[in-house]
Structure 1
Amino acid sequence: MSDKAVIIYSGGMDSFTVLHHALSKGLKPCALSFDYGQRHSKELKYAENVCRTLNIEHTLVDITSINQLLAGSSLTSDIPIPEGHYEEPSMQSTVVPNRNMILLSLAIGHAVSIGANKVFYGAHSGDHAIYPDCRPEFVKKMNDVSQIANYDAVDICTPYLSNDKGEILADGLRMGLDYSQTWTCYNGRELACGQCGACQERLEAFEVNGKTDPLEYEAS
């Protein structure tokens, strides 16, 4: 059985923890990041820095050309990033149509080509309300397809599918991870905004763990 695993690695908190989870299981991670035109592409620089520090294979793929097919998301189009809690209906504007199905399809193909039999991504329970492609039923169906789409079956692994961001952070803190090496804010400015749903969920995770977020935020 191969010890290689493809990690869909955005540079955010969740995928950062997933990457180290795979390492803790003795797997050899091959990090795969995507530039899909997200306005918070700053996260990709964080991903690059982490992989360089850990001496982990890192592939960055430019898929911005498909944006003409995926209009309507505030993450990729000229639409304001909503402020407020992550589960508010306004956050639905941050959905990128079919994003995880596209990224998983590419990651599965990459896994087959390098002889890996696992693809990890950071779906978690805090995403279930807003993002259909992070829900258990989606993961199950995609995994079913991934078993038959190629001659070599690939497992889709979501170690935190039933956990919220606070629990993911708790696991990362147990592993001694430094979350200053991650970027979460949906705005790609110099400092995190602290107001978008992604920032609020991150700050709540640190609060429930009795910790202070090491990132610097804009003054409110």
Structure 2
Amino acid sequence: MKAVCLISGGMDSSTLAYVAKDMGYDILALHTSYGQLTEAKELACAQKIAASLDALEFMHIPLTHLKVFGGSSLTDTNLKVHSHGEDEGEGKAAESAKSSANAGELPNTYVPFRNSNLLAIATSYAETRNADAIFIGVQSSDYAGYPDCRPEYIEAFQRVIDLGTSDSVHIKLMTPFVRMNKKQILEKGLRLGVPYEHTWSCYRNNENACGTCDSCYYRLKAFNEIGVEDPIPYEKAIVEINKKAPAKFKRLL
């Protein structure tokens, strides 16, 4: 079996690729650059993850139009990447995000229609390589407000794949993390031996991860909840790290 895995180089997508491999799929690694601030770091990490999995191919596709369109703090330098809790008060960002989602507002880190762009490319790639599945690491629990991470969106895109490909093609859209949180994803990755030292989650383009943006916050929070030290360096961490690892993870440190 073969699967196209969308690998950004971050924690979720890297874990996802290891899950696909563990399920018996040979990996066709697909990475996209869309002018995000950290695209060079993400590309380097994605390449290392693909190599660690002995991927059949590593396909890098530039999507420059997403930067031209703008509209996201990840691609537009005129928009500020906020620190976690900066606007709503420390410790209240998750609740605020959920309230914003209910009110129809979106985080400024949302890249308009990005996942649809990624999945369209992944479908073309999968069809040309006779792949059986596409894996994408969407998960909605920590990042409430992203419309293209919802289960109903995934169900709709599966229908697009079914209608838009050859009748002889049967590609399954796999989203094993869609109802999981960061802690659960990390626990699975630690058991599978994901090399998290070769992943990058930070929204900011610094030498070390900032430790204060939402992405860093949720990553550090997951490591803290499990009690495993994150192997990448941080400039500053707004989450106090508990370095005492539970017994079931000690062999992984």
How far apart are the structure 2 equivalents of 1:144 and 1:195?
38
How far apart are the structure 1 equivalents of 2:149 and 2:11?
15
Instruction: After superposing the two structures, state which structure 1 stretch, 3-12 or 177-186, moved more.
Output: 177-186
Does 2:158 align with 1:143?
A: yes
Task: State the match for 2:244 in structure 1.
Answer: none
Task: State the match for 1:187 in structure 2.
Answer: 204
Tell me if the contact between 2:202 and 2:215 (Cα under 8 Å) persists in the aligned partners. Answer: yes
- 1:164-214 deviations in whole A, cap 9, x for unaligned? 011000011111222111100001210000110000000010011111111
In the alignment, residue 50 of structure 1 is paired with which amino acid? I
Structure 1: any 5+ residue segments left out of the alignment?
A: none
Task: State the match for 1:72 in structure 2.
Answer: 71
With over 3 angstroms needed to count, the CA separation of the structure-2 counterparts of 1:117 and 1:53, relative to structure 1, is closer
The Cα shift of 1:103 comes to 0.4
Tell me if the contact between 1:9 and 1:32 (Cα under 8 Å) persists in the aligned partners. Answer: yes
- Aligned positions of 1:72-111 closer than 5 A: 72-78=71-77, 79-84=79-84, 87=94, 88-89=96-97, 92-111=107-126
In the alignment, residue 63 of structure 2 is paired with which amino acid? I
How far apart are the structure 2 equivalents of 1:203 and 1:12?
13
Tell me if the contact between 1:194 and 1:200 (Cα under 8 Å) persists in the aligned partners. Answer: yes
In the alignment, residue 107 of structure 1 is paired with which amino acid? A
Instruction: Give the secondary structure class of the aligned counterpart of 1:34.
Output: strand
Q: CA RMSD in A?
A: 1.6
Scaled by the length of structure 1, the TM-score of the pair is 0.93
**Number of residue equivalences:** 217
In the alignment, residue 84 of structure 2 is paired with which amino acid? G
With over 3 angstroms needed to count, the CA separation of the structure-2 counterparts of 1:80 and 1:190, relative to structure 1, is same
Task: State the match for 1:61 in structure 2.
Answer: 61
Tell me if the contact between 1:9 and 1:33 (Cα under 8 Å) persists in the aligned partners. Answer: yes
How far apart are the structure 2 equivalents of 1:185 and 1:204?
13
- How many percent identity over aligned positions? 38
The Cα shift of 1:55 comes to 2.6
Tell me if the contact between 1:128 and 1:135 (Cα under 8 Å) persists in the aligned partners. Answer: no
Q: Which of 19, 22, 25 pairs up with 1:24?
A: 22
Instruction: Give the secondary structure class of the aligned counterpart of 1:30.
Output: strand
In the alignment, residue 39 of structure 1 is paired with which amino acid? L
How far apart are the structure 1 equivalents of 2:181 and 2:218?
10
- 1:89-146 deviations in whole A, cap 9, x for unaligned? 4970000000001100110011001101211000113355121101111111111111
How far apart are the structure 1 equivalents of 2:129 and 2:31?
16
Task: State the match for 1:43 in structure 2.
Answer: 42
Instruction: Give the secondary structure class of the aligned counterpart of 2:229.
Output: coil
Tell me if the contact between 1:127 and 1:134 (Cα under 8 Å) persists in the aligned partners. Answer: no
- 1:11-64 deviations in whole A, cap 9, x for unaligned? 000010110001101110101000011102111111112223433121111111
Instruction: Give the secondary structure class of the aligned counterpart of 1:72.
Output: coil
Task: State the match for 2:190 in structure 1.
Answer: 173
- Aligned positions of 1:114-129 closer than 5 A: 114-127=129-142, 129=144
Tell me if the contact between 1:127 and 1:135 (Cα under 8 Å) persists in the aligned partners. Answer: no
Task: State the match for 2:227 in structure 1.
Answer: 210
Task: State the match for 1:157 in structure 2.
Answer: 174
How far apart are the structure 2 equivalents of 1:127 and 1:63?
26
Instruction: Give the secondary structure class of the aligned counterpart of 2:121.
Output: helix
Tell me if the contact between 1:192 and 1:217 (Cα under 8 Å) persists in the aligned partners. Answer: yes
